[in-house]
Amino acid sequence: MPAILVSEVGPRDGLQSIDPILPLSVKTAWIDALVAAGVREIEVGSFVPAKLLPQLADTAAVVAHALKHSGLTVAVLVPNARGAEAALAAGAHNLTLPLSALETHRLTNLRRTHAQVLEDAAAIATLCKSAAYDVHFEGSVSTAFGCTLEGVVTERKVVELAEALMAAGVDEVGLSDTTGYANPAQVKSVVRAVHAAIGTQHLTGLHLHNTRGLGLANVLAGLDVGITTFDASLAGLGGCPFAPGASGNIVTEDLVFMLEAMGLDTGIDLPRLLDVRKILAAALPDEPLYGFTPDAGLPLGFAVARG
């Protein structure tokens, strides 16, 4: 089993933040190529109303295709219980419900208060427990390290929301640096505080952005405090359309290179992963594609880690 799980979020987080609407055929080809490169978890879409995110209107069809890949964990974002019902009907393996640490972002993003989202979390937990197959339900505390709309987020607030999500019945809590505010010391401090409150087994993943160039530094900080799952987006596509200035997902290719260079097994074939960019370059000719590793190439003698 690879030591670190790199969860690819480009088909959801990346596409929701750009204007072009990719055809289903391109999305499925993208997913196929990611799986062929060894990616084991992909967030393939979001069950939100099509009028809000037309880029993701075909999520059910994307899920249906992704489920054809044995061994792939098919993840989706759900905004509420109705979205969760659709996700379960489609057969998604992992459901993530976002809960913004600050109320302003929550109201801007999903037009729901903390109390309403926690009610949804309890309802979704019940739905997942009664599903005909095993489902993993995560409550993600977004803007956990700061927010462009309100600024500072206190550690105490993040812990409070993590505890509330666990009480509502989620299987796990995730932390998201939605607006790229986090720094390594803060990542360590917040993760340790949440671990102390809900247990290390209930916080294993981080969603980090590279908005201010600290994405990979924050990954290292997460590794130091026991985090084993990191979200990333191929070519750095994405951000958050509901938070001003929330650009800069971690580049999957750079993340995998760093982890493998450190001797940490991701299970991903890096040369094949680099080739996946060709699909995006052809389908999104006007979108910038980021990444130092793709630009520089792999160093001479580079060898991947395999546990």
Beta-bridge partner residues of 188: none
Higher pLDDT, 166 or 2: 166
Q: How far apart are CA 61 and CA 265, in angstroms?
A: 31
Pairing of strands 94-100, 172-176: unpaired
Rounded CA Rg of the chain? 18
One DSSP character per residue, 254-286 reads HHHHHHHHTT------HHHHHHHHHHHHHH-TT
Mean pLDDT, residues 146-168: 92
Model confidence, pTM: 0.94
Compute the C-alpha angle 271/275/278, nearest 5°. Answer: 165
Q: Could you give the residue numbers annotated as active site?
A: 240
Q: How far apart are CA 263 and CA 257, in angstroms?
A: 10
Residue 268 pLDDT: 97
Residue 254 pLDDT: 96
- Supply 14's token pair: 């990346």
Q: How far apart are CA 132 and CA 94, in angstroms?
A: 14
Q: How far apart are CA 241 and CA 261, in angstroms?
A: 33
pLDDT at 245 over 50: no
Please report where in the chains the tokens 């939100």 appear, as a residue: 48
Q: How far apart are CA 189 and CA 118, in angstroms?
A: 25
One DSSP character per residue, 97-162 reads EEEESSHHHHHHHHS--HHHHHHHHHHHHHHHHTSSS--EEEEEEETTT-BTTTB---HHHHHHHH
pLDDT digits 0-9 by tens, 47-100:
999 998 999 999 999 999 999 999 999 999 999 999 999 999 999 999 999 999
Beta-bridge partner residues of 8: 42, 232
